[in-house]
Amino acid sequence: MREVGRVRWVSGPVVKARLRVPLGLLEQVWVGGERLAGEVIASEHGEATVQVYEETSGLRPGEPVWSDGRPLEVELGPGLLGQTFDGIQRPLERLLRGGRGIDRGAAADALPERAWPFEPCVEPGLELPGGALLGAVRETELIEHRVLVPPAVGGRLTWIAPAGEVARDATVAVLTAPDGTAHEVGLVQRWPVREPRPVRRRLDATRPIVTGQRVLDTFFPIAVGGAAALPGPFGAGKTVLQHSLAKGCDAQVIVYVGCGERGNEMAQVLAEFPALTDPATGRPLLERTILVANTSNMPVAAREASIFTGLAMAEYYRDMGYHVALMADSTSRWAEALREIAGRLEEMPAEEGYPAYLPSRLAAFYERAGVVETLSGARGSVTIIGAVSPPAGDVTEPVTQHTQRFTRALWSLSRDLASARHYPAIGWEASYSFYGDAVAGWWEAEGGEGWTELRHAAAQVLEQDARLEPIVRLVGSEALPDRQRWVLEAARLLKEGYLRQNALHPVDAACPPRKQVELLRLFVRLFELGRDLVAAGVPLVRLRRALDTRRLLRLKESVPNDDPSAVTAALAELERDLAALRAGAPAPSGRDDAEVPT
Amino acid sequence: MRARIDVLGASRIEGPLLVLEGFGRAAYGELVEVLGAGEPRLGEVLASSDEAAVIELWGDTAGLAPERLRVRFRGETLRVPVATEMLGRVFDGLGRPRDGLPPPVAERRVDVHGSPINPVARAYPQDAVHTGITAIDLLNTLVRGQKLPLLSGAGLPHNELAAQIALQARVAQPDERFAVVFVALGSSHDTAAFFRERFEASGLLSRTALFLNLADDAPMERIVTPRVALSLAEHLAFDHDYHVLVLLTDMTNYAEALRELAARKNEVPGRKGYPGYLYTDLATLYERCGRLRGGAGSLTQIPIVTMPGDDITHPVPDLTGYITEGQVVLGRALSRGGLYPPVDVLLSLSRLMKDGIGEGRTRADHAAVAAQLYAAYARVQEVRNLATVVGEAALTPTDRTYLAFGRTFEERVLQQDGDEIRSIDASLDLGWQALSELPAEELTRVGEEELRAHYRGRLHGRVGAAEVPGEEDDGERR
Ligand SMILES: Nc1ncnc2c1ncn2[C@@H]1O[C@H](COP(=O)(O)OP(=O)(O)OP(=O)(O)O)[C@@H](O)[C@H]1O
Ligand SMILES: [Mg+2]
């Protein structure tokens, strides 16, 4: 690290420095006596503009600026999983030094200093390109950490560490390039924060990320490698949904970026996740999770960087051949950070004060989602789910509008549903997904036969219901014929018994595919059976009395997730009871008395 | 930082900004005192270069002659003394005594801007504060370390409710280490006096520190006032293990002062003229709240926001809602109908409630009862809307039971006196009493066990505590 210039001007997170040594764009610098971390965002005529990632009060003109000539980078290697970082990848746990705050200029390695059991998988003598697999380290019980040749390096493997303990900073392999230069490859590698990692090619999405949320999986699915936006007014359930996905979705690695949001929410994740286990392995969920926490009161420039810090780590695990899901809560706060810095630079504002490059930044962010063939030929993916917080819930504002251009699924949260405590408050009219066709094959095979038809039929029920709603509001449902009142009734059961899902319920928090399909089948069949009965002249009153709605509505909670056969049985029972109605037989006695299910 | 420096004469004054050309040694954020024109005025360095310093003044700049001023750079950011002996005292908006007593002896002097809490240093708040108010305890449980604003409107009883929460929280959970920090931001003398009297009458005053920036005090000072007050609150909560309740009234005045300052600085205005950084600025206040790992104290905030035009989408309540952990919304129609506290239940929400209630904390059935009350009350609104169109007579019998439930819920459950303390059991039982107006099959959010134990309404036979007449009203026959 050497001194490269001196502070000439300071205002908030933006500093201008007069340089003695020229600096490149995106180079990392340290500013002032306290060595505050920063990054060069403009550099010309011997002057650099720096965004500083820490609070700058007390900084004065004339203080020195240092650089080591490298871009702002993340550290990549075993030990990322389970940790919590700030926006520039400082490990928050290790920055805790007695006090409750974060000391200015505090620095700590992102990765813990420890040894890892290394298992090589190649022999010296091989020609290895960038991205090739060298061996593996068991990072957590859930994730095997694959050690790869860095993308830009390649050559003949001249040495590889034998199986056994390897220290964090050790070299694990030496490659000799055709020109004779030797490259030492370490367990820990560095990568520029803002640079996408190279891949061989992009692939088509063919399977869903199973979110465990019925309303999403059924109506608005997201494909592995897809991008979804989650806009909603305050309190509508963005964070709870993001947390639910981080806990319950079937991605292999989760990167959760809390970007400009609440400290207590991060505390909640840290309190909850260690106790939650992966249903497949029984291991703590934290073993597949990386948290980036740059809360709303932490420096705004680091909030801007936090998204890229998260992405770089996500792509790193993707390159090992994992399916990674990145949740960003909230991208609006990230956009506001851009706006704030642009304002300090007195850049020309475009819409609502945001800089003109807002759309291209958003595009570049969501474009990094995708399924890829990695440099080593493996298949990996990054799926991005970005929460959006539109002011006043007004979705015509720039961030929501531009985000919609670059994402193919929109999960729009409705204030009305939320205030009626219908969660997840995904409005089925305003939301959409273009991934339905891509994932249908998977659902038919893995979820249950007839998925495509069932979801179509269920959507029809909701649509008919939506069409009746304005009429009901005018004349009341009593004035409608039985046929239409049954649509209202069936839609209510579908919403209550299927779409509504309680994130806090031990069973219902995440619903596996087979149970989803069986439940969906039940509510769709119920609608059809009832419709046919009413058409055959059975009065709605009798149909209603034959139904134990309390029991049907609680099936999602009462039936265990790993064995949905009770749902199938309930459907069979329903078909039998309703067939009896049609035959003109009296409803079985006792039904009226709403027997208590146990 | 370094020693203080005095500079004679400024180059010019632009609105609230004082520019000193030729002075290249100011530190960003440094505290500045301007002398030579009556009372010293305070400000801080907004931008500093090797050629000039730009200072933002918190007081009025009218009538200042730049060339005749003495500008003192204090060599540090604004720091205030904090001490437990500040409880029982009254201060102005910058933390100077306003009660004629000598300045407190500082235990520490702290930077008013505080420093953001490391997220991993936080403990997740889970202890319910018992306020004795059903609308809060049963439906929007307040948790120690939470920030829960009252979103209200001009003329609604938010002050009464805030005072009631503070007083009853103390009475219901007698705690030696309980303190109140009361922050007036552009409030009237009457408002400040109201709180003062309520606290005094109940003996809470000796545990309260009041920071008053009143309506006729300099509006720019208002930007500093909450920071000064929160510095004391943090000291009490995190250095002395107090359970501190901070009442801020009124955040709308605070935001207006910020808007005024931004306008005078010619910044690009955002929505309704508020600066684009209003979210971040409010967050630097509201996030100064919570609990710490290994610490026994807590800092709870109840900011009061009067919504201009009762509009919840106005930037101040909107951004507040985006930062705080829920909101208690007061409704004008409810208040006009004589309901106290006039809490609009469906718009209100306590986000930390879920982990603060239940078995061992409040009562096992709490979550289910609250969920069911919300769901049923949401239906009440639908039915009421329908009834105004088609008339009550055209409603289904089930819908009519919802109307009855709605009345009981508002009149028996929500309604309570301004000094009434209800136990959580009493609140829960009242909730069940209202739910018992509904047929059991409507109660889909409560479990069988709970139904059997608490439901007293129309059950069909065997399930519950109540015996039911044999002949069932089928609910639909006309
Ligand atoms: N799926 C759910 N199940 C149960 N409760 C929920 C669910 N979703 C949301 N809630 C309730 O709504 C509250 C607010 O949700 P959340 O914090 O996710 O809102 P948000 O959209 O992230 O708001 P903000 O933009 O202010 O951060 C939660 O605290 C919880 O009480
Ligand atoms: Mg949120």
In a domain, B264, yes or no: yes
Ligand 1 centroid, distance to A335 Cα (angstroms):
22
B322-369 tens-digit pLDDT: 999 999 999 999 999 999 999 999 999 999 999 999 999 999 999 999
Higher pLDDT, A589 or B267: B267
Range of the domain at B377: 366-465
Contacts of B118 in chain A (CB under 8 A): 92, 95-96, 100-102
Establish if A347 touches chain B: CB-CB under 8 angstroms.
no
Of A99, A233, A421, the CB nearest to B378: A421
Query: Would you report the helix, strand and coil content of chain B in percent, each value rounded to 5?
Result: 35, 20, 40
Percent of chain B with pLDDT over 70: 95
Q: Count CB neighbours of B103 within 10 A.
A: 13
In a domain, B473, yes or no: no
Average pLDDT over residues B456-464: 56
| Minimal C-alpha gap between A376 and chain B (Å) | 37
Give the position of tokens 């007036």: B184
Ligand 1 centroid, distance to A264 Cα (angstroms):
13
- Average pLDDT over chain B, rounded to whole? 90
- Alpha-carbon torsion angle A481, A486, A489, A490, nearest 10: -150
| Minimal C-alpha gap between A203 and chain B (Å) | 38
> Structurally, what CATH architecture does the domain formed by A201-345+352-434 represent?
3-Layer(aba) Sandwich (3.40)
Average pLDDT over residues A304-324: 97
Q: Which two tokens stand for residue A531?
A: 């419709």
Distance from C-alpha of A477 to C-alpha of B390, rounded to nearest angstrom: 10
What string of DSSP letters covers A243-274?
Answer: HHHHHHS--SEEEEEEES--HHHHHHHHHHGG
Query: Residue whose CA is closest, atom 15 of ligand 1?
Result: A237
Question: Are B454 and B317 members of one domain?
Answer: no
Ligand 2 centroid, distance to A234 Cα (angstroms):
7
In a domain, B35, yes or no: yes
First-last CA distance in chain B: 83
Exposure string for A528-553, b = 16+ CB within 10 A, e = fewer = ebbbebbeeebebeebbbbbbbbbbb
Residues A214, A501: contact at Cβ < 8 Å? yes
The answer, yes or no, to whether any atom of ligand 1 lies below 6 A from the CB of A502, is: yes
Question: Are B349 and B373 members of one domain?
Answer: no
- Average pLDDT over chain A, rounded to whole? 92
- pLDDT over 90 at A67, yes or no: yes
Residues A514, A564: contact at Cβ < 8 Å? yes
The answer, yes or no, to whether any atom of ligand 1 lies below 6 A from the CB of A238, is: yes
Distance from C-alpha of A413 to C-alpha of A220, rounded to nearest angstrom: 13
> Structurally, what CATH architecture does the domain formed by A112-187 represent?
Beta Barrel (2.40)
- pLDDT over 90 at A473, yes or no: no
Question: Are B271 and B197 members of one domain?
Answer: yes
Residues B239, B298: contact at Cβ < 8 Å? no
Residues A478, B478: contact at Cβ < 8 Å? yes
Size of interface A-B (CB pairs under 8 A): 242
Question: Are B255 and B301 members of one domain?
Answer: yes
Contacts of A338 in chain B (CB under 8 A): none
A125-144 tens-digit pLDDT: 999 999 999 999 999 988 99
What Rg, from alpha-carbon coordinates, does chain A have? 28
Judged by average pLDDT, the poorest of A283-287, A465-469, B146-150, B306-310 is A283-287
B47-81 tens-digit pLDDT: 999 999 999 988 777 778 888 889 999 999 899 99
Residue that is last in its domain, among B51, B77, B103: B77
Contacts of A394 in chain B (CB under 8 A): 313
CA-based nearest residue in chain A for residue B111: A57
Question: Are B149 and B264 members of one domain?
Answer: yes
In a domain, B225, yes or no: yes
A451-467 tens-digit pLDDT: 999 999 999 999 999 99
- How much is the pLDDT for A584? 66
In a domain, B297, yes or no: yes
Q: Which two tokens stand for residue B449?
A: 């066990």
Ligand nearest to the CA of A415: 1
Quick one: which atom of ligand 1 is closest to the CA of A237?
18
Helix (H) or strand (E) holding B289: none
Residues B424, B138: contact at Cβ < 8 Å? yes
C-beta atoms of B318 and A594 within 8 A: no
Query: The sheet that has A133-138: what strands, in order across it?
Result: A144-148, A133-138, A115-120, A164-167
Question: Are B69 and B133 members of one domain?
Answer: no
Establish if A392 touches chain B: CB-CB under 8 angstroms.
yes
Q: Which two tokens stand for residue A103?
A: 């000391």
Average pLDDT over residues B467-472: 38
- The residues spanned by each domain of chain A are 2-72, 112-187, 201-345+352-434, 448-595
Ligand nearest to the CA of A329: 2
C-beta atoms of A9 and B48 within 8 A: yes
- pLDDT over 60 at A97, yes or no: yes
Give the position of tokens 């998988």: A121
- How much is the pLDDT for B476? 41
From the list B241, B249, B260, the residue with the least C-alpha distance to B178 is B241
Q: How high is the ipTM of this complex?
A: 0.91
Could you give phi then psi for residue A550, rounded to 5 degrees? -55, -40
The answer, yes or no, to whether any atom of ligand 1 lies below 6 A from the CB of A9, is: no
A232-254 tens-digit pLDDT: 999 999 999 999 999 999 999 99
- pLDDT over 90 at A48, yes or no: yes
- How much is the pLDDT for B473? 41
C-beta atoms of B115 and A9 within 8 A: no
- Class of domain A448-595 as given by CATH: mainly alpha
How many domains does the structure of chain B reveal? 3
The answer, yes or no, to whether any atom of ligand 1 lies below 6 A from the CB of A411, is: no
Q: Judge residue B240's burial from the number of C-beta atoms within 10 Å of its C-beta, 0-12 exposed, 13-18 middle, 19 or more buried.
A: middle
CA-based nearest residue in chain A for residue B387: A476
C-beta atoms of A101 and B116 within 8 A: yes
pTM, rounded to two decimals: 0.93
The answer, yes or no, to whether any atom of ligand 1 lies below 6 A from the CB of A231, is: no
Quick one: which atom of ligand 1 is closest to the CA of A243?
18
Residue A306 sits at the vertex; the CA angle it makes with A305 and A312, to the nearest 5 degrees, is 90
- Give the CA distances from residue B228 to residues B88, B235, B288, B465, in Å, rounded to whole numbers and listed in that order: 16, 11, 12, 56
Distance from C-alpha of A216 to C-alpha of A367, rounded to nearest angstrom: 22
C-beta atoms of A593 and B460 within 8 A: yes
* SS3 per-residue string spanning A449-509: CCHHHHHHHHHHHHHHHHHHHHHHHHHCHHHCCHHHHHHHHHHHHHHHHHHCCCCCCCCCC
Residue A177 sits at the vertex; the CA angle it makes with A173 and A179, to the nearest 5 degrees, is 150
- How much is the pLDDT for A589? 43
Contacts of A504 in chain B (CB under 8 A): 354, 367
Distance from C-alpha of B269 to C-alpha of B276, rounded to nearest angstrom: 7
Interface of A with B in 522-551 (CB under 8 A): 540-541, 544-545, 549-550
The answer, yes or no, to whether any atom of ligand 1 lies below 6 A from the CB of A424, is: yes
Distance from C-alpha of A16 to C-alpha of A61, rounded to nearest angstrom: 9
A542-554 tens-digit pLDDT: 999 899 998 999 9
Q: Count CB neighbours of B244 within 10 A.
A: 30
C-beta atoms of A96 and B121 within 8 A: yes
| Minimal C-alpha gap between A395 and chain B (Å) | 13
Give the CATH number for residue B29.
2.40.30.20
Percent of chain A with pLDDT over 90: 81
- Domain A2-72 = CATH 2.40.30.20: yes
* Residue B110 CB contacts under 8 Å (≥ 6 apart), including other chains: B79, B80, B82, B231, B234, B235
Distance from C-alpha of A290 to C-alpha of A312, rounded to nearest angstrom: 12
Ligand nearest to the CA of A235: 1
3-class SS of residue A58: coil
Give the position of tokens 């089948």: A521
Question: Are B109 and B17 members of one domain?
Answer: no
The answer, yes or no, to whether any atom of ligand 1 lies below 6 A from the CB of A412, is: no
C-beta atoms of A60 and B27 within 8 A: yes
Ligand nearest to the CA of A511: 1
Beta partners for residue A76, in sequence order: A189
Of B47, B290, B476, the CB nearest to A9: B47
Average pLDDT over residues A180-189: 94
Establish if A84 touches chain B: CB-CB under 8 angstroms.
yes
Tell me the best of A230, A238, A240, A412 to mutate to test the pocket of ligand 1, counting ligand atoms within 8 Å of each CB and taking the most: A240
Residue B36 sits at the vertex; the CA angle it makes with B30 and B42, to the nearest 5 degrees, is 30
**Interface probe, candidates B148, B234, B322, chain A, greatest A C-beta count within 10 A:** B322
Beta partners for residue B247, in sequence order: B182, B302
The answer, yes or no, to whether any atom of ligand 1 lies below 6 A from the CB of A503, is: yes
Question: Are B159 and B229 members of one domain?
Answer: yes
What letter would DSSP give residue A399? H
Contacts of A492 in chain B (CB under 8 A): none
| Minimal C-alpha gap between B102 and chain A (Å) | 30
- pLDDT over 50 at B477, yes or no: no
CA-based nearest residue in chain B for residue A269: B124
Average pLDDT over residues B372-378: 95
Ligand 2 centroid, distance to A261 Cα (angstroms):
7
B459: confidence class by pLDDT, cuts 50, 70, 90: low
- pLDDT over 70 at A593, yes or no: no
Average pLDDT over residues A401-414: 96
**Which amino acid, A519?**
L
Beta partners for residue A43, in sequence order: A48
C-beta atoms of B389 and A391 within 8 A: no
- pLDDT over 60 at A158, yes or no: yes
Establish if A593 touches chain B: CB-CB under 8 angstroms.
yes
The answer, yes or no, to whether any atom of ligand 1 lies below 6 A from the CB of A56, is: no
The answer, yes or no, to whether any atom of ligand 1 lies below 6 A from the CB of A391, is: no
Question: Are B335 and B381 members of one domain?
Answer: no
Ligand 2 centroid, distance to A384 Cα (angstroms):
17
Q: Which two tokens stand for residue B307?
A: 């919504």
Residue A400's Cβ-side half-sphere holds a number of Cα atoms within 13 Å equal to 19
Q: Count CB neighbours of A377 within 10 A.
A: 11
The answer, yes or no, to whether any atom of ligand 1 lies below 6 A from the CB of A243, is: no
3-class SS of residue A559: coil
The answer, yes or no, to whether any atom of ligand 1 lies below 6 A from the CB of A370, is: no
Helix (H) or strand (E) holding A439: helix A436-442
Ligand 2 centroid, distance to A236 Cα (angstroms):
8
- pLDDT over 70 at B470, yes or no: no
A508-543 tens-digit pLDDT: 999 999 999 999 999 999 999 999 999 999 999 999
C-beta atoms of A343 and B50 within 8 A: no
Q: Judge residue A2's burial from the number of C-beta atoms within 10 Å of its C-beta, 0-12 exposed, 13-18 middle, 19 or more buried.
A: exposed
B209-230 tens-digit pLDDT: 999 999 998 888 899 999 999 9
